């Protein structure tokens, strides 16, 4: 039986506008999504800002009531059995908030241990284990207000694991932390999955999803636009090769011509400081590099590279098409 | 879950957090003195000694109420601001058990305020509170502080749903002084106000402390205060469940 079953889950918000003549237009944040997560799986929910990732997680941890559809966590219904779900799931979100600044890490963890009914005789040992796991040994007695963002994030992880949750929801946990911290975090998450914890992770970072997730659902504008393993997503959406050309000057004018070239599937431009990176997706076997360079001939060109499509290419393709 | 343990730890951590702000701490110590000094100066002009004692008691309970009313809802708003409110609601512990230690910590500060005001009156203004029945007086003080914390509990619970609920505590601060008879006897208030007063546990608490301070037996007032406070606690507990559900429906838990 899947640990997480989501069926046509929907959530609408009422947005307030105006002071005197108040209107309350409805915003559909999640528009009927479906997915399942098996025990011990690390499932990624990937999408741009405002796609509905956090709303989905907040419904699954019972902080928001769905506007429609249903979901079951460990067999418990999201609406009817909220209390049972809360006992069994952990929630960690990214950023600076969510901790008692004037208390030490130890006091924060002691308090949440009580809230999650960790037996008194186990608390000390469990907290010490987690402090060690997240690398805060020696700093646990200091007030959180003096912690760096990375330390706070690690404390968040420890808090979320206090009651040994069967399912862990990680909402952009690596946001704002340095590359070393992010790598340690990924290792911690991978270890948890090895130990049997089911994890649902939301992230913006493609490499993170690619490295960690068994399966990924790409969500855009409240809908799941693709679902599968990272390699399935790459294959299913992006075939062929990617040619990247660094351009100095206005590349926009040349894009129409590039798109018309035979063998070109799509063209996009990314700003890279003073330069622009023209990303051209081409069919397998199409020899169009020289034609592309000819089209961009009026511009000063920098680095030209050809590579295999990445998950990021698949993601951009899926999200732009949504 | 061990409820006493949770409440005890929650209370201790709340006290720890409050004690770590030197400004808050100093304000909590000094604030009651301002109430007391103003009241003593006003009542000293021609009032009888029993009226002065009643004023001293009234001023002391004013301190308790101010410590709780203005901070109860604000403290939950603080949880919202620092992003812990969602984590508290997402935990399996029922919300009332989370809010109780917060209001109890304020009641403890309020209790200090009560004692400090009476001592200030005694040593700075020579107002002697007769303690013919010290046990009755002590029980009346504790029950009054508890009754105020129950009102604070109800106010705090509303903050879970409504971001602006902190303003309710501030708005109620002065009317409660009047309605509960902190400084003026209820008998001089319009008739229609009295039933309102009787519905507030603190009215009975103040009455109990005043009676005990003047040498009487306050047990009847204490009993009524406890019963009315229990009704408020029950209302607050029921309200907490409803308001959390409403906050989950309207997505207001994360709004700052």
pLDDT reported for residue B47: 64
Residue A322 has pLDDT above 60, yes or no: no
Contact B88 A115 (CB under 8 A): yes
pLDDT reported for residue B256: 66
Question: Between residues A252 and A157, which one has the greater pLDDT?
Answer: A157
**Looking at the domain assignment, is residue B157 inside a domain?**
yes
Length of chain B, please?
256
**Looking at the domain assignment, is residue B255 inside a domain?**
no
- Helix-then-strand count for chain B, H and E: 10, 0
In this complex, is the C-beta atom of B4 within 8 Å of any C-beta atom belonging to chain A? no
The minimal CB distance from B17 to the residues A102, A110, A114 is found for A102
Question: Between residues B5 and B160, which one has the greater pLDDT?
Answer: B5
Residue B219 has pLDDT above 90, yes or no: yes
In this complex, is the C-beta atom of A205 within 8 Å of any C-beta atom belonging to chain B? no
Confidence of residue A236 (pLDDT cuts 50, 70, 90): low
| Chain A residues touching residue B99 (CB < 8 angstroms) | none
Q: In terms of DSSP H, where are the helices of A13-73?
A: 53-60
Contact A110 B253 (CB under 8 A): no
Question: Between residues B228 and B164, which one has the greater pLDDT?
Answer: B228
Full 3-state SS string of A87-120: HHEEEEECCCCCCCCCCEHHHHHHHHHHHCCCCH
DSSP symbols for B101-148: HHHHHHHHHHHHHHHHHHHHHHHHH--PPP-SSHHHHHHHHHHHHHHH
- Over pLDDT 90: what percentage of chain A? 45
In this complex, is the C-beta atom of B9 within 8 Å of any C-beta atom belonging to chain A? yes
Q: Which helix (H) or strand (E) holds B149?
A: helix B134-161
Strand, coil or helix: A184 = helix
Closest-CA distance, A158 to chain B, in angstroms, reads: 14
Residue A264 has pLDDT above 70, yes or no: yes
Widest CA span in chain B: 58
- Average pLDDT (A113-123) is 93
**Looking at the domain assignment, is residue B166 inside a domain?**
yes
Contact A100 B84 (CB under 8 A): yes
- Average pLDDT (B94-111) is 88
Check if the beta carbon of residue B3 is closer than 8 Å to that of residue A121: no
Residue B193 has pLDDT above 60, yes or no: yes
Closest-CA distance, A208 to chain B, in angstroms, reads: 25
The segment(s) of chain A belonging to CATH 3.30.70.1340 are: 236-321
- In this structure, what token pair is assigned to residue B254? 């994360």
- Pick among 3.90.870.10, 3.40.50.300, 3.30.70.1340, 3.60.21.10: CATH of A236-321: 3.30.70.1340
Contact B1 A61 (CB under 8 A): no
> Of B118, B90, B166, nearest to A89 (Cα)?
B90
Q: How many domains does chain B have?
A: 1
pLDDT reported for residue A23: 66
- Over pLDDT 70: what percentage of chain A? 95
Question: Which of A162-176, B57-71, B240-254 bottoms out in mean pLDDT, i.e. has the lowest?
Answer: B57-71
In this complex, is the C-beta atom of B170 within 8 Å of any C-beta atom belonging to chain A? no
- In this structure, what token pair is assigned to residue B194? 């009295």
Closest-CA distance, A254 to chain B, in angstroms, reads: 45
- In this structure, what token pair is assigned to residue A150? 């990375």
The segment(s) of chain A belonging to CATH 3.40.50.300 are: 39-67+75-228
Question: Between residues B72 and B193, which one has the greater pLDDT?
Answer: B193
How many CB pairs below 8 A link A and B?
A: 82
In B, minimum Cα distance to A61 occurs at: B90
DSSP symbols for B164-218: GGHHHHHHHHHHHHHHTTSSS-GGGS-TTHHHHHHTSHHHHHHHHHHHHHTT---
- Pick among 3.40.50.300, 3.20.20.450, 3.30.470.20, 3.40.50.720: CATH of A39-67+75-228: 3.40.50.300
Strand, coil or helix: A309 = coil
Closest-CA distance, B100 to chain A, in angstroms, reads: 13
In this complex, is the C-beta atom of A62 within 8 Å of any C-beta atom belonging to chain B? yes
Question: Between residues B35 and A300, which one has the greater pLDDT?
Answer: A300
**Looking at the domain assignment, is residue B256 inside a domain?**
no
pLDDT reported for residue A112: 96
> Of A222, A220, A272, nearest to A251 (Cα)?
A272
The minimal CB distance from A61 to the residues B21, B90, B93 is found for B90
On average, the pLDDT of chain A sits at 87
In this complex, is the C-beta atom of A27 within 8 Å of any C-beta atom belonging to chain B? no
d(CA B53, CA B56): 5
Q: Are strands A275-282 and A241-248 parallel, antiparallel or unpaired?
A: antiparallel
- In this structure, what token pair is assigned to residue B19? 């004690």
- Average pLDDT (A68-79) is 94
Residue B9 has pLDDT above 90, yes or no: yes
Interface test with B, best of A56, A102, A115 (most B CBs within 10 A): A115
Check if the beta carbon of residue B168 is closer than 8 Å to that of residue B250: no
**Looking at the domain assignment, is residue B60 inside a domain?**
yes
This model of the complex carries an ipTM of 0.86
DSSP state of A172: S
Residue A238 has pLDDT above 70, yes or no: no
Question: Between residues A35 and B212, which one has the greater pLDDT?
Answer: A35
Which burial class, exposed, middle or buried, applies to A16 when counting CB atoms under 10 A from its CB (0-12, 13-18, 19+)?
exposed
Confidence of residue A161 (pLDDT cuts 50, 70, 90): very high
Q: Are strands A223-228 and A264-272 parallel, antiparallel or unpaired?
A: unpaired
Contact B9 A99 (CB under 8 A): no
Residue B189 has pLDDT above 60, yes or no: yes
Return phi, psi of residue B181, to 5°. Answer: 70, 35
DSSP symbols for A238-283: --SEEEEEEEES--HHHHHHHHHSTTEEEEEEEEETTEEEEEEEE-
Helix B95-125 / helix B3-19 crossing angle, nearest 10 deg: 50
Radius of gyration of chain A (CA): 23
> Of B43, B157, B153, nearest to B105 (Cα)?
B153
DSSP state of A145: G
Domain assignment of residue B234, given as a range: 3-250
In A, minimum Cα distance to B4 occurs at: A114
- In this structure, what token pair is assigned to residue A316? 């951009």
């Amino acid at each position: 039986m899947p640990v997480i079953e989501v069926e046509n889950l929907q959530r609408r918000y009422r947005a307030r506008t105006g002071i005197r003549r108040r209107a309350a237009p409805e915003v559909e944040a999640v528009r009927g999504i479906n997915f399942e997560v098996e025990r011990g799986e690390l499932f990624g929910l990937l999408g741009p800002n405002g796609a509905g990732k956090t709303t989905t997680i907040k419904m699954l941890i019972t902080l928001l009531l769905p506007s429609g559809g249903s979901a079951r966590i460990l067999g418990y219904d999201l609406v009817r059995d909220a209390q049972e779900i809360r006992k069994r799931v952990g929630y960690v979100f990214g950023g600076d908030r969510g901790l008692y600044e004037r208390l030490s890490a130890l006091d924060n963890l002691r308090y949440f241990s009580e809230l999650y009914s960790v037996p008194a005789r186990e608390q000390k040992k469990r907290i010490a284990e987690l402090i060690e796991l997240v690398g805060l040994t020696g700093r646990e007695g200091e007030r959180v207000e003096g912690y760096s963002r990375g330390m706070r994030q690690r404390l968040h992880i420890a808090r979320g694991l206090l009651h040994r949750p069967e399912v862990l929801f990680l909402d952009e946990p690596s946001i704002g932390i340095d590359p070393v911290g992010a790598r340690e975090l990924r290792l911690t998450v991978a270890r948890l999955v090895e130990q049997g914890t089911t994890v649902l992770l939301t992230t913006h970072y493609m490499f993170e999803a690619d490295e960690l997730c068994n399966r990924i659902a790409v969500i855009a504008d409240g809908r799941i636009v693709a679902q599968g393993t990272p390699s399935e997503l790459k294959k299913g959406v992006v075939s062929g090769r990617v040619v990247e050309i660094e351009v100095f000057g206005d590349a926009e004018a040349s894009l129409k011509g590039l798109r018309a070239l035979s063998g070109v599937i799509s063209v996009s431009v990314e700003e890279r400081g003073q330069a622009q990176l023209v990303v051209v997706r081409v069919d397998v076997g199409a020899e169009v590099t020289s034609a592309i360079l000819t089209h961009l001939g009026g511009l000063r060109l920098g680095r030209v590279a050809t590579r295999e499509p990445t998950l990021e290419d698949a993601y951009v393709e899926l999200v732009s098409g949504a | 879950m061990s409820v006493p343990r949770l409440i005890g730890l929650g209370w201790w951590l709340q006290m720890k957090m409050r004690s770590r702000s030197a400004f808050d701490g100093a304000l909590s110590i000094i604030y009651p003195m301002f109430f007391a000094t103003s009241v003593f100066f006003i009542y000293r002009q021609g009032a009888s000694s029993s009226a002065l004692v009643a004023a001293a008691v009234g001023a002391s309970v004013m301190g308790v109420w101010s410590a709780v009313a203005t901070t109860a809802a604000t403290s939950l708003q603080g949880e919202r601001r620092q992003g812990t409110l969602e984590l508290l609601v997402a935990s399996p512990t029922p919300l009332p058990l989370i809010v109780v230690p917060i209001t109890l910590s304020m009641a403890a500060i309020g209790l200090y305020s009560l004692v400090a005001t009476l001592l200030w009156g005694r040593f700075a203004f020579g107002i002697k509170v007769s303690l013919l029945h010290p046990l009755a007086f002590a029980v009346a003080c504790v029950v009054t502080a508890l009754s105020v914390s129950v009102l604070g509990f109800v106010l705090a619970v509303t903050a879970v749903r409504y971001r602006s609920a902190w303003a309710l505590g501030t708005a109620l601060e002065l009317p409660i002084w009047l309605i509960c008879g902190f400084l003026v006897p209820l008998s001089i208030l319009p008739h229609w106000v009295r039933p309102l007063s009787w519905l507030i546990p603190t009215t009975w608490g103040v009455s109990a402390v005043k009676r005990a301070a003047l040498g009487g037996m306050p047990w009847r007032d204490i009993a009524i205060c406890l019963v009315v406070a229990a009704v408020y606690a029950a209302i607050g507990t029921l309200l907490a469940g409803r308001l959390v559900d409403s906050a989950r429906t309207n997505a207001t838990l994360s709004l700052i």
